[in-house]
Amino acid sequence: MARLDSEEKCLLNSFERGGWQSIEGHREAFERYRDYAHMTVKKDRRVNIRISCKDLEALRKRAIEAAMNFYTSIFKNSKVGNVIRYGDAGPGPKGAVTAVTLDLEGQEFMALNGGPMFTFSPAISFFVHCETQEEVDELWAKLSEGGETRQCGWLKDKYDVSWQVVPTVLGTMLQDKDAEKSTRVMEAMPKMDKLDIKLLKQAYDQR
């Protein structure tokens, strides 16, 4: 059976996590992937997607807009600012979004449609401070949908952006002058994915 090369794996992984990849400069790889996908569907159904160049182009147009709508739907105080689209000069498809500004809870972000060669890493993450456990629970569920959860309040959303959903009380606990209290809290954190204020307080007070 044929095997996927690195470009094809990148494309396949992108579709499996609901993402997208540009086919510009990768048409030959796309053709190999399409043939492989069709073959595999017939043999053991491990790959169950069938795509065309037209489908990929549509995904490219919608990708950054989908991300824009995703983030503004999660944060209550959010809005879309400027939206810039490609024109006749390209280099992307006419009408596709090339850049957008977002305001999320008073923090301005700019998103660029840079293409598949630029990826995200947990080396950079965004903090979200929550006053209550209800806020932690809600944002954790929404941001992690379609993504991955990790220890100590970290998660990666479906666009591979890393977030830390953190109760505000955690900072106070970790900076306590009593080293034993802050140490107990630090030791409790790796036992959790989503941070639990009640359990953190129990460790802090040693209850």
Tell me the pLDDT tens digit for each residue of 135-162.
999 999 999 999 999 999 999 999 889 9
* pLDDT for position 9: 56
Residue 31 lies in a domain: yes
Query: Over the stretch 1-18, which tens digit does the pLDDT of each residue have?
Result: 445 455 455 555 555 555
58/20 Cα distance (integer angstroms): 10
Residue 47 has pLDDT above 50, yes or no: no
The answer to whether residues 131 and 198 belong to one domain is: yes
pLDDT of 141: 96
Place of tokens 């069938």: 50
106 plus 137 within the same structural domain: no
**Residue, of 202 and 2, whose pLDDT is higher:** 202
Q: Are residues 68 and 93 in the same domain?
A: yes
Same domain for 148 and 178, yes or no, is yes
The reply to whether 44 and 75 lie within a common domain is no
E strands in the chain: 78-85, 97-104, 107-112, 125-130, 148-149, 154-156, 162-167
Segments forming the whole domain that contains residue 73: 62-112
Q: How confident is the model at residue 30 (pLDDT cuts 50, 70, 90)?
A: low
The answer on 145 and 89 residing in a single domain is: no
Q: Same structural domain for residues 201 and 129? A: yes
Q: Could you tell me the two tokens for 95?
A: 């009408």
Residue with tokens 């919608």: 62
User: What's the CATH number where 74 sits?
Assistant: 3.30.720.100
What crossing angle do the helices spanning 27-43 and 53-74 adopt, rounded to 10°?
90
Answer yes or no: is 70 within a domain.
yes
Do 40 and 52 form a contact (C-beta atoms < 8 A)? Answer: no
CATH of the domain at 134: 3.10.180.10
Asked whether the beta carbons of 74 and 142 are under 8 A apart, the reply is: yes
**Dmax of the chain from CA atoms?**
66
Residue 171: inside a domain: yes
Cα gap 89→94, rounded to integer Å: 8
The number of folded domains in the chain is 3
Domain check: are 108 and 134 in the same one? no
> Does the global pTM surpass 0.75?
no
Distance in angstroms (rounded) separating the CA atoms of residues 171 and 63: 36
Is residue 70 domain-shared with residue 107, that is, in the same domain?
yes
